[in-house]
C-alpha cells in the first residue's frame, strides 16, 4: 500500500475526486478497498464537521438549511411562473455534502425509469451496466437497515448508510396506509422495484441504534481514510482541470491535473484521472472554467474553448411540489405544537439528549405514495390529459427533449407508474408567505395534516452556467412550470389530494369545516382552475436539482457517456446528481448512491485491466 496517508502536501495522485459529497464519499470508499495500491485524493471546498450535534440530530435538519456554516446557499434567479420568487437551493457545505443536511427520506426509482434511460438515451452497449438488472445490486449495496446491522455487517465488508423505519407508526402514519387500502391499493414493499400504485412507509437515513443521521461522510469517507490510500483536503476550492497542450492519438483532451486554491494559495495536483463529484451546480461550472461547454457561454465568460459541448449546464431539472393542509380534530397530535411552543421544543431536546429518542431522533417524512393519475381520476379525465401530452411530444422538435419526453409520456400512460409522488407531513406547510402582507405570522394556530404532491417527472428544463471566469456561484434558472404540461399534471394531482381528503380516512381525522391552507386559498379545491391558481403562490422545490452533466448520447446533448467520461476527454469523469438525465420519481439521493456504486465498478474494472496489461507499475 502506498505511503500516502501522511503526505498532505503530495503533488500527485492516481485519482483526484473533486468534492466530498454523497457520490464522492461512496466512490472513495469503494476504490480504497478495490484498488488498495492506488492513491486517492479528495478535494472538498467545505469543512469536515464530524461531531457537530446539529448534523447528527435528525430532527434538526431544517435548521441546517440557509445556515452559512452548513449550506452553500445557492439561489435561483427570479422564477417568472412562481411570481418571480427567488428559490433557495441548500447544498451541503460539509463533508458528506447534501446527505449531511437533507431531510433523510429514502425513496427509490422504479425499474421502468432505469430501463428507459438506456433504451431512449444511451447506446445499446450500456444496457448490461445501466439497465434495471445491472443496477439492482447497486441500489441495495449502499444501505443497510440499522436494526439488521449486526446480522449483515460482514457482508462483503462494505461500508453502508444505515437506514431505519420509524420505531412505531403513529396514528397518522397508520391512517395513511389505510387511506390507500380503502381505495383498493394494497401496501407494497419499498425499494428499487417495478412500479405499483399505492402507499409505502419508507426508511430514513438514520441509525436508529444511536438516533443519529447516517450520511456519506461518516458512512463511507471516514472508514476509507483509515485505509491509508485516501487523503481528504478540506477548505479547497477547485478552479479548473488542467489539460495537456496536445490531444492524444484519438483526438481527445488528456487531463494532467487539477488547479485549486487553499488558504489563498494556488496549487496544482497531478493525476491520472479526474472524477468530478462537485454537485449539480459546481460540476458543470468546473467544466466550463476548464474550457468545456457551450461556445457562447465560454466566450462570454472569456474562457478559451477546448472542446465544445453544448449540454454542459443545460437540462437542469427539479421536483416541484405543492401541498394542501387540513386542520385535524381534537386529540390528533401533530408537530405544530413544537413549531409554536418553545417549551415543547425544549422538552424534545431534553428527551433526545438523555435517551436519543423522541421527535428529534426521527425524520420528517416516512409516509409516501406513488400515484398515477388513474388512481382517483375517471377514465375520461385521464384520456384528456394523455391526448394533451401526446400532442406536445409530437410537436417537440429538439431531439434531446423529444427523447426525454418520450420516456415521461410512457410513464404518464401507465396505470402503475407515478406521475407524482405524494407524501404526508404531520404539520402545517404553506409557501405563500411572499404573496401575503409583510407582517403575516409564519405559522397559524391549530394542528394540521399536510399532503404534498411532488411532480414525478417534470417537462420543464433550466440551466446553470458560470457568469464570468470567476469562482462566484453560477447563474441558476430552473424555469419552473415553464412547460404547460407541468401545470396540467401537478394541478390534477392537487385535485387528487383533495379527493383523498374527502375519503373516509381523512374525514375521520380532520375537523369538519376546519381551517385550510395555504392561506391564500383556504377552501376545498372544486375545479382544475382552482388547483392551477394555487401553484404560482404555493408551489415549492423538493431540493432535488439534477441533470446539468447528463449521461446521454452526445448527439442528444449529453455530457458524459455510459462510462461517465466527459465527451472529448480521455480521463475526466463526472458522478453526482448532475449526470441523471431525467429526474427519477422520488428523492434523488438513492439514485445518486446507486450511480456512484456503478461508477466505482466501472473505474475499478478499468484500473484492474490497466494493471494486468502493464499500463501501471
Eight-state DSSP code of residue 306: S
Closest among 77, 360, 83 to 212, alpha carbons compared? 360
Closest among 606, 547, 456, 564 to 122, alpha carbons compared? 564
Cα angle at 71 between 67 and 74, to 5 degrees? 110
Lowest mean pLDDT among 15-24, 100-109, 182-191, 565-574: 182-191
- Return d(Cα 534, Cα 497) in angstroms, integer: 13
Closest among 465, 605, 478 to 549, alpha carbons compared? 465
Q: Do domains 12-163+212-317+546-612 and 171-202+320-455+482-538 have the same CATH topology?
A: no
pLDDT at 472: 80
Eight-state DSSP code of residue 105: B
Cβ neighbours of 235 (radius 10 Å): 13
Q: Which three cell numbers stand for residue 188?
A: 407494497
pLDDT at 148: 56
Cα-trace Rg, the chain:
24
> pLDDT tens across 205-220, in order?
999 999 999 999 999 9
Sign of CA dihedral 289, 291, 294, 295: positive
Buried b / exposed e along 572-581 (16+ C-beta atoms within 10 A): bbbbbbbbbb
Instruction: Output the CA–CA distances (angstroms, integers) from residue 613 to 104, 606, 607, in the order listed.
Output: 43, 11, 10
Beta strands 320-327; 516-517: pairing state: antiparallel
SS3 248: coil
SS3 32: helix
Closest among 300, 307, 296 to 241, alpha carbons compared? 307
| All structural domains of the chain with their residue ranges | 12-163+212-317+546-612, 171-202+320-455+482-538
Mean pLDDT of 389-413: 97
> pLDDT tens across 503-559, in order?
999 999 999 999 999 999 999 999 999 999 999 999 999 999 999 999 999 999 999
pLDDT at 253: 98
| 357 alpha-carbon distance from chain centroid | 27
pLDDT at 427: 95
SS3 167: coil
pLDDT at 185: 83
Instruction: Output the CA–CA distances (angstroms, integers) from residue 514 to 315, 372, 445, 450, 524, in the order listed.
Output: 42, 28, 12, 13, 11
Q: Which three cell numbers stand for residue 482?
A: 415553464
- Return d(Cα 161, Cα 143) in angstroms, integer: 5
Cβ neighbours of 231 (radius 10 Å): 19
SS3 213: strand
pLDDT at 156: 52
Of residues 177 and 8, more confidently modeled: 177
Instruction: Output the CA–CA distances (angstroms, integers) from residue 146 to 29, 101, 143, 157, 528, in the order listed.
Output: 19, 20, 9, 15, 44
Question: Which pLDDT band, with edges at 50, 70 and 90, does 14 fall under?
Answer: very high
Any binding-site annotation on 572?
Answer: no
Instruction: Output the CA–CA distances (angstroms, integers) from residue 205 to 27, 58, 182, 543, 611, in the order listed.
Output: 18, 9, 30, 16, 37
Cα atoms in the 13 Å half-sphere on the side-chain side of 606: 15
Q: Are 204 and 106 in contact (CB under 8 A)?
A: yes
Question: Which residues are within 8 A (CB) of 402 and not within 5 positions of it... i.e. 6 or more apart?
Answer: 393, 396
pLDDT at 57: 97
Q: Are 531 and 576 in contact (CB under 8 A)?
A: no
Cβ neighbours of 228 (radius 10 Å): 16
Eight-state DSSP code of residue 10: -
Cross-strand pairs, 321: 454, 540
- The yes-or-no verdict on residue 183 having pLDDT over 80 is yes
Cα atoms in the 13 Å half-sphere on the side-chain side of 506: 23
Per-state percent for the chain, helix, strand, coil, to nearest 5:
35, 20, 40
Any binding-site annotation on 95?
Answer: no
Question: Which pLDDT band, with edges at 50, 70 and 90, does 617 fall under?
Answer: very low
- Return d(Cα 455, Cα 462) in angstroms, integer: 16
Question: Which pLDDT band, with edges at 50, 70 and 90, does 614 fall under?
Answer: confident
CATH 3.50.50.60 fits 12-163+212-317+546-612, yes or no: yes
> pLDDT tens across 437-464, in order?
888 888 899 999 999 999 999 999 999 9
Cα angle at 389 between 590 and 518, to 5 degrees? 65
Closest among 464, 482, 480, 483 to 472, alpha carbons compared? 464
Instruction: Note the residue count of the chain.
Output: 617
Q: Which three cell numbers stand for residue 457?
A: 417527472
> pLDDT tens across 333-382, in order?
899 988 888 898 999 999 999 999 999 999 999 999 999 999 888 999 99
Eight-state DSSP code of residue 74: E
Closest among 487, 505, 460, 466 to 369, alpha carbons compared? 505
- Per CATH, the number for 171-202+320-455+482-538 is 3.30.560.10
pLDDT at 4: 43
Mean pLDDT of 87-104: 97
Mean pLDDT of 42-69: 95
Instruction: Output the CA–CA distances (angstroms, integers) from residue 573 to 220, 278, 534, in the order listed.
Output: 20, 11, 42
Amino acid at each position: 500500500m502506498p505511503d500516502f496517508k501522511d503526505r498532505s502536501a503530495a503533488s500527485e495522485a492516481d485519482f483526484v475526486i473533486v468534492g466530498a459529497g454523497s457520490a464522492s464519499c461512496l466512490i472513495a470508499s469503494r476504490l480504497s478497498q478495490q484498488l488498495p495500491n492506488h492513491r486517492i485524493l479528495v478535494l472538498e471546498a467545505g469543512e469536515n464537521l464530524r461531531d457537530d450535534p446539529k448534523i447528527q440530530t435528525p430532527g434538526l435538519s431544517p435548521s441546517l438549511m440557509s445556515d452559512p456554516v452548513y449550506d452553500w446557499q445557492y439561489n435561483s434567479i427570479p422564477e417568472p411562473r412562481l411570481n418571480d420568487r427567488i428559490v433557495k437551493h441548500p447544498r451541503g457545505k460539509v463533508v458528506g455534502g447534501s446527505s449531511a443536511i437533507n431531510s433523510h427520506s429514502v425513496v427509490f426509482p422504479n425499474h421502468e425509469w432505469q430501463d428507459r434511460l438506456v433504451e431512449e438515451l444511451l447506446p445499446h452497449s450500456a444496457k448490461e451496466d445501466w439497465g434495471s438488472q445491472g443496477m439492482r445490486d447497486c441500489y441495495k449495496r449502499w444501505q443497510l437497515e440499522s436494526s439488521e446491522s449486526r446480522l449483515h455487517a460482514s457482508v462483503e465488508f462494505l461500508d453502508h448508510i444505515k437506514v431505519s423505519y420509524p420505531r412505531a407508526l403513529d396514528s397518522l402514519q397508520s391512517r395513511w396506509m389505510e387511506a390507500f387500502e380503502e381505495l383498493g391499493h394494497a401496501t407494497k414493499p419499498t425499494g428499487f422495484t417495478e412500479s405499483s400504485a399505492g402507499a409505502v412507509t419508507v426508511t430514513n437515513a438514520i441509525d436508529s441504534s444511536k438516533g443519529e443521521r447516517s450520511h456519506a461522510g461518516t458512512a463511507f469517507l471516514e472508514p476509507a481514510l483509515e485505509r491509508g490510500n485516501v487523503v481528504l483536503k478540506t477548505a479547497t476550492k477547485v478552479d479548473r482541470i488542467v489539460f495537456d497542450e496536445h490531444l492524444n492519438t484519438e483526438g481527445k483532451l488528456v487531463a494532467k491535473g487539477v488547479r485549486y486554491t487553499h488558504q489563498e494559495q494556488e496549487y496544482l495536483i497531478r493525476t491520472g484521472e479526474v472524477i468530478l463529484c462537485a454537485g449539480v451546480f459546481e460540476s458543470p461550472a468546473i467544466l466550463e472554467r476548464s474550457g468545456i461547454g457551450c461556445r457562447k457561454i465560454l466566450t462570454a465568460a472569456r474562457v478559451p474553448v477546448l472542446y465544445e459541448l453544448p449540454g454542459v449546464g443545460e437540462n437542469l431539472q427539479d421536483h416541484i411540489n405543492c401541498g394542501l393542509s387540513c386542520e385535524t380534530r381534537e386529540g390528533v397530535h401533530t408537530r405544530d405544537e413544537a413549531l409554536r411552543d418553545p417549551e415543547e421544543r425544549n422538552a424534545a431536546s431534553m428527551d433526545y439528549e438523555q435517551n436519543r429518542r423522541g421527535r428529534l431522533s426521527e425524520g420528517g417524512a416516512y409516509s409516501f405514495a406513488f400515484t398515477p393519475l388513474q388512481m382517483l381520476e375517471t377514465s375520461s379525465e385521464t384520456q384528456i390529459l394523455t391526448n394533451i401530452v401526446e400532442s406536445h411530444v409530437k410537436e417537440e422538435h429538439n431531439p434531446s427533449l423529444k427523447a426525454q419526453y418520450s420516456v415521461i409520456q410512457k410513464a404518464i400512460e401507465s396505470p402503475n407508474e407515478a406521475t407524482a409522488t405524494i407524501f404526508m407531513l404531520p404539520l402545517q406547510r404553506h409557501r405563500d408567505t411572499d404573496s401575503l402582507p409583510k407582517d403575516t405570522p409564519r405559522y397559524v394556530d391549530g394542528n394540521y395534516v399536510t399532503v404534498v404532491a411532488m411532480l414525478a417527472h417534470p417537462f420543464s428544463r433550466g440551466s446553470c452556467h458560470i457568469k464570468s471566469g470567476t469562482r462566484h456561484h453560477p447563474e441558476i434558472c430552473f424555469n419552473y412550470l415553464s412547460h404547460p404540461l407541468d401545470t396540467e399534471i401537478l394541478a390534477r394531482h392537487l385535485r387528487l389530494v383533495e379527493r383523498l381528503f374527502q375519503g373516509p380516512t381523512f374525514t375521520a381525522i380532520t375537523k369538519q369545516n376546519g381551517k385550510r391552507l395555504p392561506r391564500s386559498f383556504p377552501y376545498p379545491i372544486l375545479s382544475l382552475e382552482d388547483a392551477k391558481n394555487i401553484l404560482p403562490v404555493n408551489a415549492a422545490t423538493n431540493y432535488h436539482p439534477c441533470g446539468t452533466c447528463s449521461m446521454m448520447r452526445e448527439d442528444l446533448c449529453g455530457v458524459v457517456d455510459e462510462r461517465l467520461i466527459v465527451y472529448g476527454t480521455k480521463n475526466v469523469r463526472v458522478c453526482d446528481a448532475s449526470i441523471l438525465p431525467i429526474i427519477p420519481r422520488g428523492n434523488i439521493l438513492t439514485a445518486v448512491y446507486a450511480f456512484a456504486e456503478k461508477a466505482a465498478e466501472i473505474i475499478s474494472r478499468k484500473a484492474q485491466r490497466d494493471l494486468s496489461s502493464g499500463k501501471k507499475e
